[in-house]
Amino acid sequence: MPGADVDAQGNFKRFTARAKYLFPVKALSKVLRAKYVCMLREKVIAEKPLIESLFEKDWVVYAKRPFGGPKQVIEYLGRYTPKIAIGNHRLQEVNNEQTVFAYKDYKTGGAKKQTALIHAEFIRRFAMHIPPLRFVRIRHYRIVSSTWKRKKFKELRQCLQLQEIKPVVKIMLHKCPCCKAGTMRTIEVFGKCGPPKEYLFAVPRSTC
């Protein structure tokens, strides 16, 4: 959630907070709970007593201090976004009856231990880490969302008087791994999500 936004006139504004976060964490939890329950009522996917019982407990919203810069953001997110529930190096043994894997017991100071589960239970726990359909691990809102950026990012750049930074393409020469004789030259660098349209059904990225 960014500490800035754009008003109805398209003007970019930064917000200042007295505390460490843009919004108080406890207040954010209550607002999130109210918004979520409101959508449940509109969709009518649950019984009324069940919906009302959602207000009996406090909801937990995780908030983290602002990062020091882009490098810290990438380092933090890189530990979560590309990884699966358990790495292969933690799997110790897989036999006909059970799966043995290593884990850290933080109750005993992070001591490394092993545990064994039958295959059905191991798969059940693994599947709990798979996001439901149309859900993603990280979701961006407002000015950092993909939909917003595609429509108004150019206008925001002009409002802040920022120049577009174009990537510098470096021509790299190296030997062809197939024939060991020809020289390969970089002809395209893909800086967007997916290759350009002219390369979708055509040549590979490099040629010798």
Query: pLDDT (tens digit, 9 = 90+) per residue, 17-40?
Result: 555 556 677 888 888 888 888 887
Locus of tokens 């349209």: 197
Report yes or no on 130 lying in a domain: yes
Report yes or no on 40 lying in a domain: no
pLDDT in tens, 188-201: 666 555 555 555 54
DSSP assigned state of 103: E
Q: Is 99 helix (H, G, I), strand (E, B) or coil?
A: strand
Check: pTM over 0.85? Answer yes or no.
no
Instruction: Calculate mean pLDDT across residues 81-92.
Output: 83
Report yes or no on 161 lying in a domain: no
Report yes or no on 186 lying in a domain: yes
Which of 96, 118, 136 is the last residue before a domain boundary?
136
Distance CA 144, CA 98 (A): 44
Q: What per-residue confidence (pLDDT) applies to 91? A: 93
Distances (CA, A) of 167 to 31, 171, 189: 41, 13, 9
Is residue 135's pLDDT more than 50?
Answer: yes
Instruction: Calculate mean pLDDT across residues 51-71.
Output: 76
Report yes or no on 101 lying in a domain: yes
pLDDT in tens, 36-56: 888 877 776 657 777 778 888
Mean pLDDT of the chain: 76
Report yes or no on 146 lying in a domain: no
Q: Do 86 and 130 lie in a common domain?
A: yes
How many domains, in total, are found in the chain?
2
Which of 118, 136, 154 is the last residue before a domain boundary?
136
- Phi/psi at 205 (5° precision): -70, -30
| Length of the chain in terms of residues written | 208
Question: Is pLDDT larger for residue 71 or for residue 118?
Answer: 118
Domain residues for the domain of 106 are: 82-136
Q: Do 130 and 173 lie in a common domain?
A: no
Q: Is 62 helix (H, G, I), strand (E, B) or coil?
A: coil
pLDDT category at 172 given cuts 50, 70, 90 is low
Question: Is pLDDT larger for residue 152 or for residue 125?
Answer: 125
Report yes or no on 159 lying in a domain: no
pLDDT in tens, 106-131: 888 889 999 999 999 999 999 988 88
**Other Cβ atoms within 10 Å of 155 Cβ, number:** 12
Report yes or no on 183 lying in a domain: yes
Helices (H) and strands (E) in the chain, counts: 5, 8
